[in-house]
Amino acid sequence: MLSRIVNALVPTVTAHAHCDLPCGVYDPAQARLEAESVKACMQKYAASDDVDFKTRAITIKEERSDLVKHHLWVLWTDYFKPPHFEKYPNLNTLFNEATKLAGAGGTKGTVDVAVADQLLGKIDEISEIFWETKKA
């Protein structure tokens, strides 16, 4: 009886895709928008004396930093393919540096606006390469 139930639940068709719904829509602007939000939270944090507001700013900044990493990882792992990495040998390094700048050692772990500016700079470099690949 149990084996029939288990067999009924096992999929009969296996689908292979890079995501649940391969839409093909990629854009580094998503990561940039979240990084701009991170920077704005840092600026508002620095400008406020309200402890509760500052706590909210930190919470939002950390959530947005995670979203930056997410959007960068999607580009890194789903959009860019081996020929891109061959043509742009610094691409892996750029993504590694950018995701670290959005992590605990970067914008997630500080309120230093200069770190947010560094992150935005890396995203701009990635964006430049991304749009070059779209021309090809």
Q: Cα angle at 14 between 9 and 15, to 5 degrees?
A: 130
Q: Which of 100, 118, 117 is nearest to 109 (CA)?
A: 100
Quote the pTM value. 0.83
Average pLDDT, the chain: 90
- Say if residue 17's pLDDT is above 90: no
- Say if residue 15's pLDDT is above 50: no
User: What single DSSP character describes residue 77?
Assistant: I
Separation between Cα atoms, residue 112 and residue 6, nearest integer Å? 53
Q: 24-79: per-residue pLDDT in tens?
A: 789 999 999 999 999 999 999 999 999 999 999 999 999 999 999 999 999 999 99
Q: Which of 24, 8, 31, 50 is nearest to 94 (CA)?
A: 31
Q: What percent of the chain has pLDDT over 90?
A: 80
Q: Which domains does the chain have, with CATH numbers?
A: 28-135 (1.20.120.400)
- Say if residue 85's pLDDT is above 80: yes
Tell me the residue type at 79: Y
Separation between Cα atoms, residue 48 and residue 106, nearest integer Å? 21
